[in-house]
Structure 1
């Protein structure tokens, strides 16, 4: 009875421990891929707002933009009660985001804008999946071709035929943005490219803006294996995969507008994550497996020890097989003689 209770308790401990270790999993990233901050641009001048009218107009504009982000990927609006307090604002989501992801992305921008820029008379906050821009009436305008931000990868792949592949992919993408009316993503010989223009830019101006961005990428990033160029009215991004573009459930293919959204989104997610999720899962599996094996060994040793204590001195007292067999034969012969005594 005591042995059964001990074995039962030990098994319960092992089961509980295995359950705890099997629940190990890598922590989720702090924010989804589309919410990564790319850059911010804040005007130097703050609102002079003793009456609170600017704050009211800004709040109304934010609310309108967030509401519209559930329905469309680009929206521009103007708020304010007087010409002096008029604020124009807009948002745009990446062309391959779903409506739900677009909303989730845009809904982060008002708070971020307040934290990063405060109550400036103009601000722009660019996330990897969307951006927000606002400015008061009369704010100085800049050229749509002006470069706002750039980033180039550290890997240099000169002399591998990369530049020719990239430039061909750039040409395909420039034409695709026009046919896609503002958004296009495709893969050409291991080079993934994506381009997008602001929603109110016409096809002709969009083509010119994208061309300008591509030329800047060639100059600014040179032989870098990846890069992103953000102009005032458009942006482009590219990445070279020497071993081929990784494929998900949907392999990346030419896409325009909202088509092919899962393809380009999957590639961007893989670029951002850099395999950290896989590493975390592997570590969890190794730790859980090692712990389980350790507990199993302890269990077996414990049971073996208990069995020794229970049966010590009870087993047949034979030490060597030959002696054991001889004793058994002699005992059998004695029993047979008792049952069948030899007649005198």
Structure 2
């Protein structure tokens, strides 16, 4: 009497082992967020002379404070140094970012400021998910309505009632950003919009700033399918999806998918696939075991 192995069940068993080892390999990868992509830089033309390193120390202390606060809040403004070496700075993250995403974004800003602007009297670094600015005491102030940067989509939507639809959506955005105290996203008939004001701007001034940004978008971008307008104290972005928002990201706003949001869809999809594959593999494994046991019993019976 002896036990024998049928080649077919054994081959299926090996196939299962190989298949299960590839489950993780084919788990869908989550696309990287673009929150830390540079939108624009603003650097003062004048640099500070710092033979004793006083300005550098004050600026470094400012950066450290701002980055540490980004783990807790989405907006923070502070001042370091004394007298002529006083430096005022702030950071702000987009309102839909989580604390970890905010920190991940803000922590990149000091290095970028040094790399892109050097030791200038003032600098502003704007990423898709956050921005940081600082000004040395005495630096000339600019209006909160000053336009710093704009970009308009290369595709135009003409003759389809798009501009009327977009303008209605803009009106919803203007009121929404006030009632929601500085940050608002909305979707009106396939027009997706986002607006945000600097954290220390009051509701009324925020509404005026966003209204000004909207007017700039209407003039500067015309019938463009998308646009972004950055003023000193606020910014807006819009995107029109006539065929529906893309499914690749859970956030259809232009350049505003946070990693927490975008990875949510990717991870859920991946988990669903993994569950389906895992369930199928488990059933297959059970069938293989039953076949194997049946083969063993049949062989045992034949031996008798």
Q: Is structure 2 residue 166 aligned with structure 1 residue 178?
A: no
8 Å CA contact retained: 1:96, 1:265: no
Cα distance in 2, alignment partners of residues 31 and 138 from structure 1? 40
Cα distance in 2, alignment partners of residues 34 and 187 from structure 1? 20
8 Å CA contact retained: 2:246, 2:252: no
Q: In structure 2, what is the equivalent of residue 319 of structure 1?
A: none
Unaligned runs of 5+ in 1: 250-261, 282-344
Q: Secondary structure at the match of 1:192?
A: strand
Larger Rg: 1 or 2?
A: 1
Q: Secondary structure at the match of 2:257?
A: helix
Across the two proteins, how many residue pairs are aligned to each other?
Answer: 265
Q: In structure 2, what is the equivalent of residue 311 of structure 1?
A: none
CA distance change for structure 1 residues 179 and 155 in 2, over 3 Å: closer, same or farther? Answer: same
**Correspondence for 1:268 among 247, 256, 280:** 256
CA distance change for structure 1 residues 264 and 91 in 2, over 3 Å: closer, same or farther? Answer: farther
Q: In structure 2, what is the equivalent of residue 339 of structure 1?
A: none
Q: Is structure 2 residue 87 aligned with structure 1 residue 99?
A: no
Q: Secondary structure at the match of 1:35?
A: coil
CA distance change for structure 1 residues 151 and 25 in 2, over 3 Å: closer, same or farther? Answer: farther
Q: In structure 1, what is the equivalent of residue 297 of structure 2?
A: none
Q: Secondary structure at the match of 1:156?
A: coil
Q: Secondary structure at the match of 1:237?
A: strand
Higher helix share: 1
8 Å CA contact retained: 1:92, 1:199: yes
8 Å CA contact retained: 2:79, 2:87: yes
Cα distance in 1, alignment partners of residues 31 and 255 from structure 2? 19
RMSD of aligned residue pairs (Cα, Å) = 3.6
CA distance change for structure 1 residues 266 and 248 in 2, over 3 Å: closer, same or farther? Answer: farther
8 Å CA contact retained: 1:173, 1:195: yes
Q: How does 1:103-118 map to 2 (within 5 A)?
A: 103-118=103-118
Q: Secondary structure at the match of 1:119?
A: coil
Cα distance in 1, alignment partners of residues 129 and 141 from structure 2? 24
Q: What do the CA deviations read for 1:87-121 (whole angstroms, capped 9, x no partner)?
A: 00000111111112111111111111111111111
Q: How does 1:111-190 map to 2 (within 5 A)?
A: 111-190=111-190
Q: Is structure 2 residue 44 aligned with structure 1 residue 56?
A: no
Q: In structure 2, what is the equivalent of residue 72 of structure 1?
A: 73
Cα distance in 2, alignment partners of residues 30 and 38 from structure 1? 19
Give the CA deviation at 1:263.
5.8
Q: Which has the higher contact order (CA 8 A, sep 6+)?
A: 2
Q: How does 1:8-87 map to 2 (within 5 A)?
A: 32-80=33-81, 82-87=82-87
8 Å CA contact retained: 2:251, 2:257: no
8 Å CA contact retained: 1:109, 1:125: yes
Give the CA deviation at 1:241.
1.0
Q: Secondary structure at the match of 1:34?
A: coil
Q: What do the CA deviations read for 1:179-206 (whole angstroms, capped 9, x no partner)?
A: 1111111111111111011111111111
Q: In structure 2, what is the equivalent of residue 199 of structure 1?
A: 199
Give the CA deviation at 1:33.
2.4
Give the CA deviation at 1:269.
2.9
CA distance change for structure 1 residues 267 and 135 in 2, over 3 Å: closer, same or farther? Answer: closer
